[in-house]
């Protein structure tokens, strides 16, 4: 893992430049060439990329698999919705509050789970996701009503409550897309800073070998909790962004299955790199849109693709597409160069 002082080496600078360029294209150029349906889709791609990044931090960096990340997303969405209706807080504060409270919940869930490892941790997070889904299906999302749950029974409602408010500078779809991309980029940056500095090194050593880390004086409990805290915070903020994007979140749209497909897409995208999280977001949100609306493919194929992709990643390409794709492209490049060399006779031998 690189330390901050090594960040200034050439490779990193190039990577950073590429990232900044792509970000600029995404924010400034993309809305001009894409229709509003693409904008909406890519807003949720950004949101789910953050969730996948949280998953990647937990698993790729700290070695802990959580099958309940979408449950945390749901909780963040709920908190954001409740606060949006109940308070007049400016939107950035809503994001922070949703992130903070979700962070606290994530740490609370993580605390007893710390002693669990591998498979047991995965199972307990899955059970947490399932329990959350059920509790949510009873309480549903707030819609402007009073009380803790904030949901008024629609008996007396004759017109719908307004959707969850967006930041005043970003009310339209395109503006909100830009806002979301910027916030997500900030979250990515926070994650990157973590990975490049002390926590990242601690996570790497924990992942490699816990006893060795323990022997080296790494406080395993603190760093594991830190990973939970970071992942939960990011997912909570993403949840609040989702609430404002959707406007009228409903419990029925958040299913236990989503946590599983998120894990699958995060792994397929690649848990060891930040690009992998973006690829995961695309798999999770862009691919269904492409299947439905552009290519007319039966959406149930997606489950098959996710399942097969997951198997493939686990077996042959643990780094996921983000890792595999450049390697494949490199191999392809080498193949092409070799082929060209064979076809084109060497200089000096041509007649």
Partner 1 sequence: MSNLLAFAVFGVDWEFLKPYIVIGLAFGGVYALSGVGLVVLYRATGVLNVAFGAIGAAGALIAYYIVNHTSWPHWLAYTICVLFGGVTNLAYGMVFGPAFARRDALVKMMGTLGLALILLGLMAWRAPAGGAFARFLPLGTTQTRYTILGTSVSLTQLIALLLAFVITFGVTLFLRVTRLGTAMRALADDREVTAMLGVPVRRVEAAAWFGSGLACGAAGLLLPDLLTSLDYSALTFLVISSLAAALIGRLRSLGATLAGGLAVGLAQSILSPYTQVSAYRSAAPFVLAILALLFLSRRRVVTISRTAG
Partner 2 sequence: MRSTYRRIGLALAAVAAIAMMVVALANSAGPVGSGTASATKAACGKGTGKKATGAPIKLGGIDMLIPGVDFTTIGKTANAYFQCVNDNGGINGRPIKYTLYTEQLNPAQEAALARKLITSDKVVGVVGNTSFAECGTNWKYYKSKGFIVIGAGVQAECYSTPSFAEVNSGPRYSNVGAAQALIKAGAKKLAIASPDTISAYADGGPALVAKAAGIPVKIFPTHLPVTDATSQLLQMYQFAGNGGGILIDFTPDTAPAFMKAAEAQGIVDKVLWGSSTPIANTFMSGQFSPSFDGHLWIDNEFSNVDPKVGPDSALMFQVLKKYAPKIAPQAFAQMGYLDGKFAVNALMSIKGPITAKSYNAAVRNLKNQKSDILCKPFYVGNLAYHIPNNTNIIVDYKDKNVVVRTGCTDFQAVDKAIAQTRKWEKQFKLN
**Shorter beta-carbon distance to partner 1: residue 181 or 227:** 227
Q: What are residue 167's phi and psi, to 5 degrees?
A: -60, 145
**Shorter beta-carbon distance to partner 1: residue 115 or 250:** 115
Cβ 194 to partner 2 shortest distance, Å: 28
Both tokens of 302, joined, read: 């997606």
Cβ 255 to partner 2 shortest distance, Å: 8
Neighbours of 54 (CB within 10 A): 31
Give the angle 26-49-32 at the CA atoms, nearest 5°.
Answer: 20
Binding site for partner 1 (CB under 8 A): 59-60, 63, 65, 112-113, 115-120, 122-124, 126-128, 130-131, 134-135, 138, 207-211, 214, 256-257, 260-261, 263-264, 267, 298, 300-311, 314-315, 318
Q: What are residue 49's phi and psi, to 5 degrees?
A: -65, -40
Distance from C-alpha of 294 to C-alpha of 75, rounded to nearest angstrom: 32
253 closest CA partner among 123, 87, 74, 125:
74
**Shorter beta-carbon distance to partner 2: residue 60 or 249:** 249
Q: What is residue 347's three-state secondary structure? A: coil
List Cα–Cα distances, 196 to 3, 85, 147, 201, 234, in angstroms: 6, 38, 44, 7, 17
Cβ 177 to partner 2 shortest distance, Å: 11
Binding site for partner 2 (CB under 8 A): 35-41, 43-44, 47, 134, 137-138, 140, 151, 153-160, 163, 173, 242, 245-253, 255, 285, 288-289, 292-293, 299-300
**Shorter beta-carbon distance to partner 2: residue 41 or 102:** 41
**Shorter beta-carbon distance to partner 1: residue 192 or 204:** 204
Find the farthest-apart pair of alpha carbons in the chain and give their distance in angstroms, rounded: 92
Cβ 73 to partner 1 shortest distance, Å: 18
Binder of residue 344, out of partner 1, partner 2, none (CB less than 5 to 8 A by kind): none
Cβ 151 to partner 2 shortest distance, Å: 7
Let me know: does 55 contact 68? Beta carbons within 8 Å.
no
Distance from C-alpha of 267 to C-alpha of 67, rounded to nearest angstrom: 12
């Amino acid at each position: 893992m690189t330390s901050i002082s090594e960040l200034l080496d050439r490779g990193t600078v190039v990577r950073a430049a590429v990232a900044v360029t792509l970000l600029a294209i995404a924010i400034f150029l993309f809305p001009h060439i894409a229709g509003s349906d693409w904008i909406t889709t890519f807003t949720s791609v950004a949101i789910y990329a953050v969730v996948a990044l949280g998953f990647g931090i937990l698993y790729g960096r700290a070695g802990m698999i959580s099958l309940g990340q979408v449950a945390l997303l749901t909780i963040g969405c709920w908190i954001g919705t409740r606060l949006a209706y109940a308070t007049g807080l400016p939107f950035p504060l809503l994001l922070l509050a949703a992130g903070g409270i979700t962070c606290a919940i994530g740490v609370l869930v993580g605390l007893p789970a710390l002693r669990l490892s591998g498979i047991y941790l995965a199972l307990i997070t899955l059970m947490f996701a399932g329990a959350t889904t059920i509790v949510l299906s009873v309480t549903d999302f707030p819609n402007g009503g009073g009380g803790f749950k904030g949901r008024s029974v629609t008996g007396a409602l004759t017109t719908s409550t307004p959707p969850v408010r967006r930041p005043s500078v970003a009310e339209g779809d395109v503006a909100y897309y830009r806002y979301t991309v910027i916030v997500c980029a900030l979250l990515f940056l926070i994650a990157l800073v973590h990975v490049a500095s002390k926590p990242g090194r601690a996570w790497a050593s924990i992942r490699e070998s816990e006893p060795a880390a323990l022997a080296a004086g790494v406080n395993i409990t603190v760093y594991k909790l830190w990973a939970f805290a970071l992942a939960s915070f990011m997912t909570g903020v993403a949840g609040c962004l989702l609430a404002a994007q959707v406007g009228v979140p409903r419990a029925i749209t958040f299913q236990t299955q989503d946590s599983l497909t998120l894990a699958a897409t995060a792994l397929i995208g690649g848990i060891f790199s930040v690009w992998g999280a973006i690829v995961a977001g695309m798999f999770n949100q862009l691919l269904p849109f492409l299947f439905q609306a552009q290519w007319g493919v039966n959406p149930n194929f997606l489950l098959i693709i996710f399942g097969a992709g997951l198997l493939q990643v686990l077996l042959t390409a643990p780094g996921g597409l983000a890792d595999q794709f450049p390697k494949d492209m490199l191999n392809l490049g080498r193949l092409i160069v070799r082929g060209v060399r064979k076809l084109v006779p060497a200089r000096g031998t041509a007649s």
